[in-house]
Homo-oligomer: A and B are copies of this chain.
Amino acid sequence: MESINIIERGTFNEKAMKKLLVHDSPYFRIINFNFEPGQELPIHSHDLEGELSIQIIEGEGEYLAQDRNIPAKAGDILVCAVSEPHGVRARTRMRVLVTIAPPL
């Protein structure tokens, strides 16, 4: 057993959101996304079984959904089907943790 610290390990990049694979197994995949203001994980979906959680660790922005945006701030967790359109856009610097089960 070993822990990883996503605040120490997760970096930012002016050019594009930064992605850190935290864990990957047959059970779930955990990914840390870090965004500079204005950067986004564009809205997308996968025609597959499963769900994902999108947790805001730091900062503020919005969740992107099919027909609307949902305010997002530290402490927020949103769960949706992998097949539902979803995304994230940063207003401030944001640290986000995504957990997908089962992994795609």
Contact = CB atoms under 8 A, between A and B. Distances in A.
Stoichiometry (number of copies)? 2
Interface string A72-101: 111111111000101000000000010101
B28 A51 contact: yes
Nearest to A54: B3
> Interface majority SS on A: helix, strand, loop or mixed?
strand
B76 A3 contact: yes
A23 B77 CA distance: 9
Interface string A28-46: 1010000000000000000
Contacts of A53: 23, 28, 30, 99
A39 to B, nearest CB: 20
Given A1-B63, A50-B27, A70-B1, A7 B99 contact: no
A16 to B, nearest CB: 22
A98 to B, nearest CB: 11
